[in-house]
Every structure is written in structure tokens, then in C-alpha cells.
Amino acid sequence: MQTVCIIGDESRSVADRLAGRLAETHEGRIVMVDCTLEAAEIDTLSETAITDIDAQFERTDDGHWQARGRNRTPMELLDSLAADYEYAVVAGVSHHRLPTVAVGEADPAASVPVVATAPTAAAVDIDDIVERIETFDPHITLETLIKQVKASPQADRSGAIATFTGRVRAKDSPEDARTQQLSFETYEGVAEQRLETIRKELTAREGVFEVLLHHRVGLLEDGEDIVFVVVLAGHREEAFRTVEDGINRLKDEVPIFKKETTTEEEFWLHEQP
């Protein structure tokens, strides 16, 4: 799912314009996420006590669905939507893994990937963002990859889907300093080529129909997912074996560099003795 966050002045109006332009120029489902309302404003939107439920969905007069709610972070919401939508436009918040447009006096954190800035909402170049959106890092989840392999032409022959998810571990032992975040960097193009080579070689195995591997880059915080391996196979034996080989080869053969930040220090893992 290609995702763009809009923060700053009139972020909702900019998001509306961007979503509308995407609908005109791109095929695929689009979701708009509005994070600009305060909790008190959300409560006034419905006679239902929104504090008593997680979310409320309504069908508008023009046939669209809208939802209201709380107790769910924007990233948790996007994770739940990623498998079903090709594009997401988010108004009012940014994230260290999501391309962001900063408007007016918006001051995103240094870790946020800012793809465009503008002094006012009217000055945002919507057409430029729409033209470049496919070049932004997509928001990919495990569910996205599972849905992709299920759509394989070989799915009728498959009796197993096996997956692996690697996460940011806070501690290796109780005595360790807590890991706050990991940062991943790659040589542009090289990592993708190596991943594709591994994918093709694993898919060529007898009884294996589809293999997908995805490693996130940039800043990842404690508890976030890092890497996914998904295998569609005829039987569980081939599926389990290929998942294990896939993550082992990814770690051994793909040049991805990891910097760890703990509560006590910061260091690159390949520089550790």
C-alpha cells in the first residue's frame, strides 16, 4: 500500500485533494484516514457514546464508508488496511516509516521521510506527489504478502502457507539494556537484487509455488516488525523448510546494515567485536 501523510496547516483539505486526484489518475482502492479531530470533537459526531466502542462505521449519502473511533494508533489502523487498499492518505499525523508532506509550520521529527514541503495548503503540488507516489517506500505487512501468495495461479495446488516475522527485540536477556530502536540501511539496488535471487532459487524447489521476502529499512522502534518471509507450498514440510532457509539466507547474503540504539549506547552491529 502506497501511503502519504499530510501534516501541518489544513492537512485535511490537502489530503482530500490528494485522495481525489489519486482517484482520477490511478487504479486501485484508496482509503482516507483523518487524524485531525480531537477526542472531544469525535464524541460530538454521533449520538452513540464513542467512548464505549472502538469504532463506528457509517455509510454516507454518496455511497462511501466513514469510520470514527479511538484506542487504536494510526499505524495499527494502516496495518489492518494494507492488504485491502492500494493507496492511503493520512491527515494530521506522521510516522518514521511513512512518506510525509509538511505544510506551513509543520515540524516533523528528523527521522520522518519528508517527500514534499509547502508554505501553505494551496501551494502543495498535488500533481507532483501523485506522479511520484509509486517511488515512495510502500507500507507492506505480513497480511499483504499472504494475500499476494493466495492469489497465485498455483494456489489450487497448495496445502500450506508458512510465514516468519522478525521483530525488534527489546532485550536478549533480563540484564540487557533495553533496545529503543534499530536503524537499517542498504546499498541501493543491491539488497533488492539479492532478495530477488534468493526468492527465485527458493521458488524453484520441488513443491514450492511462491516465496516472498520483505525487509523494512529505516528506523524501527521496539516491538515493530522488521522482516517477513512467506511461502506457498504443496505441503507443510516444504513450506517450513523453505521459510527457515529463506530467513537464514536473507541474513547471510543480503547487505543490510543495522544500527542499534539502547538506553545506554548506540552502535552499528557489524562494528561490534
Q: Which domains does the chain have, with CATH numbers?
A: 2-135 (3.40.50), 142-271 (3.90.1170.40)
Q: Which residue has the cell 499472504?
A: 146
Grid cell, residue 184, equals 537499517
More confident residue, 53 or 269: 269
Distance CA 210, CA 161 (A): 9
Q: In what order do the strands lie in the sheet with 208-215?
A: 160-167, 225-233, 208-215
Grid cell, residue 19, equals 485522495
pTM: 0.83
What is the Cα 13 distance to its own chain's centre?
A: 24
pLDDT in tens, 150-208: 999 999 999 999 999 999 998 888 888 899 889 999 887 899 999 999 999 999 999 99
Predicted pLDDT at 53: 55
Query: Of all helices (H) and strands (E), which one includes residue 30?
Result: strand 30-34
Predicted pLDDT at 111: 87
Distance CA 144, CA 138 (A): 11
Angle at 19 between CA 142 and CA 70, to 5 degrees: 60
Distances (CA, A) of 204 to 133, 233, 263: 33, 11, 44
Predicted pLDDT at 239: 98
Angle at 176 between CA 171 and CA 179, to 5 degrees: 50
Predicted pLDDT at 52: 53
- The mean pLDDT of 221-238, rounded to a whole number, is 96
Does pLDDT of 122 surpass 60? yes
170 three-class SS: coil
- The mean pLDDT of 231-250, rounded to a whole number, is 97
Q: 230 and 193 in contact (C-beta within 8 Å)?
A: no
Q: Considering the chain, what is the average pLDDT of its residues?
A: 88
Q: 261 and 181 in contact (C-beta within 8 Å)?
A: yes
